[in-house]
Structure 1
Amino acid sequence: MAQNLPICDSSIETQMDHLSDRKIRFEADNINIVPGLESKSELIGNVIIRNDNSITKSNKATYNQSSESLSIEGDVSFKQDDLSVLSQNAEFSYSSETFSFQDAMFEMNNNNSRGEAELIEINENGSLNLKNVNYTTCPKDSIDWMIKANEITLDPKKGEATAKKLGLTFKGVPIFYLPKISFPIDSSRKTGFLAPEIGGGGRSGNELRLPFYFNIASNYDATIIPRILSGRGFQLGSEFRYLDKNNTSNFQIDYLSNDHIYGKSRHFVKINHETIFENGFRARIDFGDTSDGNYFEDLGRSLSLTSITHLNQSLLFDAYGDNWSIMGRFQNFQTIDESISQDQRPYYRLPQIKIKGSLPYKPFGISTSLDSEIVYFDREFGVTGWRVDNEPKIEWELKKSGWYLKPALSLKHTQYELKNLRDNQKSNPSRTLPISSIDAGLFFERSLKNYPDHIQTFEPRILYINKPFRDQANIPIFDTIEPDFNLIQLFQKNRFLGIDRIADSDQISLGFSSKITNMSTGDELITATLGKAFYLKNQKVTLPNQNNNLNTSSDYIAEVRLSLLSNLNFNFSHQWSDDQAGVARSQAKLQYRPSGRKLFNLGYRFRQDLLEQGNISWSWPLSESWNFLGHYNYSLRDNKSLEQFYGLEYESCCWGIRMVYRQYVSTRDGQEDNSFGIQFILKGMTSIGTNANKLLERGILGYSSEYIE
């Protein structure tokens, strides 16, 4: 057992106090002090040397006062933060405060990396110098990849490392060699090349991306992305980011000179900027522009981009207070889908101003508010002009435990000043109508008899709306649509989204929701909702080219979510009518997940006269190392596959590889494309090849790319 000798401890600490601000404590079985000109102190047996942030153990240690050095011998073990070093010999110089280890092995516990070095020096400033280094994140019994270098310097304060004559071997085969390289060792950013991406297949041919990152300053940076497409040519992409206390900016410019297939040069520009002023006002810029309507289909690199039909170009100012808000906007659109006719393209808002305010006082629960908007709509084709809308509102909220009641009354007035009119169309139509409503709900709760830790709730809700009919046939449609009917829309006071049409209503909306909750875990085991609206009068207000709604009630809307088993959940939504119209919309989703990496999804979507699709996706381990994953989306209406991809992942303890083949509809007119990508991952280092993370996470619900990172 180690003996603590206070006298010797005190003597040695006193000798070192003038050399370092750090206090160092020694423990050993035996401590011998040799007086003289070259005073030495020997620590023998179970030596332990401690300071504020490290501990060193060995069989023997010798302190030489004349050279101000400490020699450590025999089974040397050093630990400091996440660094561990093993060696037979080490030396600490108090004058330079440098710790040196000969023929040492090291481990970095923060990323499971380890290695060997002929010499390791730990300097006073915390930097490490390593000579003739072998480095890997693989275990000792399976060294699949190894980095070798003549010299590596790690500087934690700068967050970077520099290596000379560095080479990478995989399975004993040399992969690459670099005479000199520097790279970050923490989350700090550093100028240099990022991991390349390689892919192939499809109309654009094989692809190589080699991003170069510029760390310009702590709050702004840039990335230059050369991209070679064997079928199209050379594209140069760039991204600039800026961030400070009041500003956030992101600029993207991509340019492809003389596309070999398209026959012209092509570009894409994207600007996002936000400024928050000291007075609380905010300014936002959202600007997108592209050279042609097929840009995203040919060069977008994701299925979501191929469906873009318009690019937003807007400048927005807004501010918020406790009882008010104001918003001003100038908004334009670039329509990139040339198949959209001129009369169906969106209007520009030049400008739009919205103001909302309410009184801070609510006597007896009565609140008053005012919503106002003024906007000028412009377009190259069709009617243009001003629209001014004002809606004062009063609402009384009565709320107690288990119930609430909210009657409300508002008066909506809308005035237009129009140009470019059709024949017999008024230039200044207006509309004024009162809107009254009563919203009420109840809340019931009970414990289940056989499951006392489970609670069931039941929440009925009723909304009555009354709006008289106003003829709106002479009012143009600037920004108004009729959205899909759903549970949210069931309790909206206007079935249209927008101001150009206010539906005449004398209706009652009913909804019932119930859920069963495990109170010990908080998990909702069953959730069910059912709703329907009843029309007391025929609805006459419609959008152009639509028939009047003569139904006495809306469709039924139902949603069910089941999570009775921890590894199985089911979601189902359904919209149907009780007449000959039948099912309008339906969607179902089933997920089976017996473990974190093992999951299986089934899905179904239906919209009457529009689509009927089924999809299946999975991520299923074939063994401890191999994982099979895929996604298949099929149109039952068109009898064709919309998208399918299949992949294999191999993962060892220190590296992985991912291979993905994809076939998908890449254009709006139904053309198909395909691609194949390989991604090689060195854990704790980098990845090379096609980055398919976003594709897999989007296509396989519940999948995470972190499994193999």
Structure 2
Amino acid sequence: MAFVCCCVAEATTPAPVLASASVLEMRTDDAETVTWHLTADNLSTLNESKILEATGQVALRRGNEFFKADYARYYSTTNWVYLKGNVEVFTGTETIRAEEAEFDLRSRTGWMQKGEIFMEGPHIYFTGERVTKKWGDYYTFEKAKVTSCPPDGEAWSMNAEQAVVEIDGYAQLFGATFDVADTSLAYSPYMILPAKRTRQTGLLMPEYGMSTRRGVYYNQPFYWAVDDRRDVTINEYWMEKRGFMHGVEYRSREASDTAMWMRFDWLDDLTTVKNDADDPIAKDGLVRTNSERFWLRGMTEGRLGDPDWRYKLDLDYVSDQNFLREFNSGMSGFGKSRSQLFELFGRDIRELDRNRISQGMVYREWDRATVALSARYEQDPSLGHGNKNYSADTTVQRLPQLDVFLHKGRAFEEMPLEIEAEAQTVYFHRRNGTQGGRTEIAPRVTLPMNSRYGSVIASMGWRQTMYNTERAKGLDGEPAPTGDYRSLPDYNVAAFTEVGRVWDLEDGALDPATEEVGTRHWKSVYHRVQPRIEYRNIANVDQDRNPYYDDSDRIGPRSELVYSVTNILTRKRGTVVPARDPDSEEEYQKVAYDYLDVIRWRLESGYDLREMDRNDDLEDYPRRPFMDMISDLRFGVFDWLSIYTRSDWSPYLGDFTRHDQGVTFTSQRWGYISTGYSYRPKLDEYNRKRAYTGNLATLTAAVNMWGPWSAAGHMYYDFVRQEGYERAFDLIYSNPCYKFILRYTYDVYDEGIEFLVELPGLTN
């Protein structure tokens, strides 16, 4: 198609002045009528009204599409429009800017001089000396430049002799260079870049650095967008001292309640640990003679055929006890996988130094009942690779398990009596030790009694357990107990009430007609006091004659009284907000209210009646029936300050047995800083023992320092070992078109430093 020449002199007939708005109608190739609305400060016609000229704030609109310029000339015979001066075009996908341009209004094809397209999704600017718009969303650029930096502050760019760009597709660059400032650092005769607002296949930003355990390392991920619901990430992780680790990660979300995340990493390690003295990870009496190392983990959930039946599956299996400790950080590490799984599924995996758990479940829920069939496998990663043989494994496996739950509800409509129950049958498998089946039924009835003065809730339960021992062998090789049953009653009574008062604040009234939007005042404060007393009892039943599979086979007796008082201070705050009348569309201001518990303080203690009557081991452990006194405070009066503190004090030790404190300061301008403290002393009492003292402080912060510089990090300090056993610090330089991160990490297993570069649009 030939372009219209816009510099030909027109007929000299006088140009009549038109109204400042005009309607342009035309027919497309498929005989459809298209209407554009043209507005400008001045409109006039030339050549017997075949040409329309517009000057001053020209706008040509059709639906959500528009053309804007300082000057426009429209040719009615060809339906072309010529634009000049601050040209801006929106064709339904992206915004285009140019010095001058010409377009066919029927097909929206044309050309631009010094054109620029900004794609907001990937945050990329495409510019060219001359830009030609093809049919659809295809563009060709002469003397092209690609960058995520604003045109007035380019720090880096990709420059090419020619570029072909498909919106929401890819950009092909011919004769391309990568430039920093005005210096070319690399050349490629042909290059493809993503130009998508959605997920895209390609290389992701790598991780690289050096550490004491890995040496110099480089981790390059490749992302494959299989379709709009599935994707795969492949990692090649080279470590100077360890070799290549290969990784593959699969994600899918077929529906809002159907998802899968799986990842597998494997490594042929260049180093092994033949004796515990040479183990840099932990002096735990274990070695690691294997060089083939791996970790499989993942979760999935969804519906199983019938929409009422659902399934869940967790996988967590590792080659040895040191793998997760050594590879804790980075995109292939334990911490990253754990946070991704919790974010996607709301379920957690075990800490890195614990046995690994793989389990699956198929279940169905009704209004008052749930049935679930499951299996659970627990792996001891310390077995094999130079340690105890797998044949010596004593870990208990649940293969299979059936659970039935009757949820709490009224037993009779006319009575407040509530009933609930659970039943379970499970087979416990062991390579070594006692194995067999256990079936258990546990009904419970609850009677809530409410009045204007308070509430009393009484409940009574019965746990009936039947054992079917298949093999009785203790862990020490001696015969194990093989009891057939257990009957264990328990009951609980709790009484509580609440008194409170509301204080209206004189300066809490807001007048939306005179106050500015965003003005806030506390309207009132509600103070509540909630005293509570509870008695808990579990019968003293001899269970030593029964097999031991897990902790629920040995439920200790209990007879204790627990009492507490909770103070709650709730504020009611009014805020002036904008509003719109749904009928008249008239805008106005109103006061909206929100509520927040700004102070919650619980004081609790108790008395152990069984401890008061105990006669065992009195010489070594004198009676201590009074429980610790607990003070638990949450404070959040200000938006910028949050405080929590809990302390347990023993009247017998005359000292604290627990501390948990934390303070967080938050500022939109400066960032945040959070500090915490946790203390657990060594204990040796009849009812509780703690072998080690824990005394730990934490500090986490993200601070905007000055200009583009910021810092972030965390530190854990152990006062017992008198060392910071984990530290991580980031120094960040941020720019609208790039971000540099210098990161230092240290823990008891490794120390390293890495440098990260983020280029918006290309590395995200």
Bin of the TM-score, shorter chain as denominator length: 0.7 to 0.9
AA aligned to 2:502 is S
User: What's the secondary structure of 2:554's corresponding residue?
Assistant: coil
1:545-595 CA distances to partner (integer Å, 9 max, x unpaired)?
A: xx9994323222221122344323221111221112732221111222344
Matched, 1:468 2:539: yes
User: What's the secondary structure of 1:203's corresponding residue?
Assistant: coil
Q: What displacement does 1:500 show? A: 1.5
Distance in structure 2 (CA, Å) of the matches to 1:384 and 1:453: 62
Distance in structure 1 (CA, Å) of the matches to 2:668 and 2:106: 56
Distance in structure 1 (CA, Å) of the matches to 2:270 and 2:622: 51
Distance in structure 1 (CA, Å) of the matches to 2:613 and 2:235: 56
Distance in structure 1 (CA, Å) of the matches to 2:405 and 2:45: 84
Which of 293, 316, 322 is equivalent to 1:294? 322
Q: What displacement does 1:252 show? A: 2.1
AA aligned to 1:349 is R
1:147-206 CA distances to partner (integer Å, 9 max, x unpaired)?
A: 3233444434x5444443333322333344444344444453333222222121121111
> Any residues of structure 2 matched to 1:432-443 within 5 Å, and which?
432-443=487-498
Change in Cα spacing, 1:70 to 1:279, as seen in structure 2 (3 Å) is: closer
Q: Partner of 1:454 in structure 2?
A: 525
> Any residues of structure 2 matched to 1:9-408 within 5 Å, and which?
9=22, 12-13=24-25, 20-28=32-40, 29-35=42-48, 40-46=50-56, 47-80=58-91, 83-94=94-105, 96-108=107-119, 113-114=124-125, 116-156=127-167, 158-245=168-255, 247-261=258-272, 264-277=291-304, 278-301=306-329, 302=333, 307-337=352-382, 346-358=395-407, 362-363=412-413, 364-399=415-450, 403-408=454-459
Contact 1:501 1:541 in 2 (8 A): no
Which of 606, 627, 636 is equivalent to 1:533? 606
Contact 2:701 2:714 in 1 (8 A): yes
Provide TM-score, normalisation by structure 1.
0.83
User: What's the secondary structure of 2:25's corresponding residue?
Assistant: helix
1:607-658 CA distances to partner (integer Å, 9 max, x unpaired)?
A: 1123111233333333122223333222111222211223311123332211
Change in Cα spacing, 1:141 to 1:68, as seen in structure 2 (3 Å) is: closer
Using the aligned pairs only, state the percent identity: 19
AA aligned to 1:72 is L
Mean CA deviation greater in 371-380 or 450-459: 450-459
Distance in structure 1 (CA, Å) of the matches to 2:646 and 2:709: 36
User: What's the secondary structure of 2:432's corresponding residue?
Assistant: coil
Change in Cα spacing, 1:143 to 1:17, as seen in structure 2 (3 Å) is: same
Q: What displacement does 1:57 show? A: 2.9
User: What's the secondary structure of 1:571's corresponding residue?
Assistant: strand
Contact 1:515 1:526 in 2 (8 A): yes
Change in Cα spacing, 1:570 to 1:129, as seen in structure 2 (3 Å) is: same
Mean CA deviation greater in 228-237 or 101-110: 101-110
Contact 2:27 2:34 in 1 (8 A): no
Contact 1:444 1:457 in 2 (8 A): yes
AA aligned to 1:624 is G
Change in Cα spacing, 1:110 to 1:187, as seen in structure 2 (3 Å) is: closer
Contact 1:204 1:298 in 2 (8 A): no
Change in Cα spacing, 1:466 to 1:18, as seen in structure 2 (3 Å) is: closer
User: What's the secondary structure of 2:326's corresponding residue?
Assistant: helix
AA aligned to 2:370 is S
Mean CA deviation greater in 240-249 or 98-107: 240-249
Q: Partner of 1:522 in structure 2?
A: 595
Matched, 1:509 2:562: yes
AA aligned to 1:40 is K
User: What's the secondary structure of 1:104's corresponding residue?
Assistant: strand
Contact 2:69 2:88 in 1 (8 A): yes
Q: What displacement does 1:95 show? A: 5.6
Distance in structure 1 (CA, Å) of the matches to 2:183 and 2:272: 39
Contact 1:82 1:109 in 2 (8 A): no
Contact 2:406 2:421 in 1 (8 A): yes
Distance in structure 1 (CA, Å) of the matches to 2:86 and 2:323: 64
Change in Cα spacing, 1:30 to 1:632, as seen in structure 2 (3 Å) is: closer
Q: Partner of 2:342 in structure 1?
A: none
Contact 1:605 1:612 in 2 (8 A): yes
Change in Cα spacing, 1:589 to 1:147, as seen in structure 2 (3 Å) is: same
* Unaligned 5+ runs, structure 2: 1-15, 274-289, 339-350, 507-522, 574-593, 683-691
Distance in structure 2 (CA, Å) of the matches to 1:568 and 1:248: 38
Distance in structure 2 (CA, Å) of the matches to 1:539 and 1:350: 42
User: What's the secondary structure of 2:215's corresponding residue?
Assistant: coil
Q: What displacement does 1:346 show? A: 4.2
Contact 1:130 1:151 in 2 (8 A): yes
1:83-111 CA distances to partner (integer Å, 9 max, x unpaired)?
A: 44343421112464313212224445667
User: What's the secondary structure of 1:211's corresponding residue?
Assistant: strand
Change in Cα spacing, 1:449 to 1:214, as seen in structure 2 (3 Å) is: closer
Contact 2:122 2:195 in 1 (8 A): no
1:290-349 CA distances to partner (integer Å, 9 max, x unpaired)?
A: 222222223343575883321212222222111001122211111114599999964111
Change in Cα spacing, 1:271 to 1:453, as seen in structure 2 (3 Å) is: closer
Distance in structure 1 (CA, Å) of the matches to 2:614 and 2:232: 53
Q: What displacement does 1:3 show? A: 7.5
Distance in structure 2 (CA, Å) of the matches to 1:62 and 1:519: 61
AA aligned to 1:638 is R
> Any residues of structure 2 matched to 1:684-699 within 5 Å, and which?
684-686=761-763
Contact 1:82 1:110 in 2 (8 A): no
Matched, 1:652 2:705: no
Distance in structure 2 (CA, Å) of the matches to 1:340 and 1:627: 50
Q: Partner of 1:701 in structure 2?
A: none
Change in Cα spacing, 1:53 to 1:127, as seen in structure 2 (3 Å) is: farther
Q: Partner of 1:612 in structure 2?
A: 695
* Unaligned 5+ runs, structure 1: 481-498, 667-672, 688-709
Contact 2:121 2:197 in 1 (8 A): no
Contact 1:503 1:539 in 2 (8 A): no
Contact 2:743 2:754 in 1 (8 A): yes
Distance in structure 1 (CA, Å) of the matches to 2:292 and 2:653: 54
RMSD (Å), alpha carbons: 3.4
Q: What displacement does 1:447 show? A: 2.2
User: What's the secondary structure of 2:422's corresponding residue?
Assistant: strand
Contact 1:42 1:60 in 2 (8 A): no
User: What's the secondary structure of 1:554's corresponding residue?
Assistant: coil
Q: What displacement does 1:141 show? A: 4.1
User: What's the secondary structure of 2:35's corresponding residue?
Assistant: coil
Provide TM-score, normalisation by structure 2.
0.77
AA aligned to 2:291 is K
1:521-541 CA distances to partner (integer Å, 9 max, x unpaired)?
A: 533322211222222233899
User: What's the secondary structure of 1:22's corresponding residue?
Assistant: strand
Matched, 1:589 2:672: no
Which of 556, 570, 589 is equivalent to 2:643? 570
Q: What displacement does 1:674 show? A: 0.2
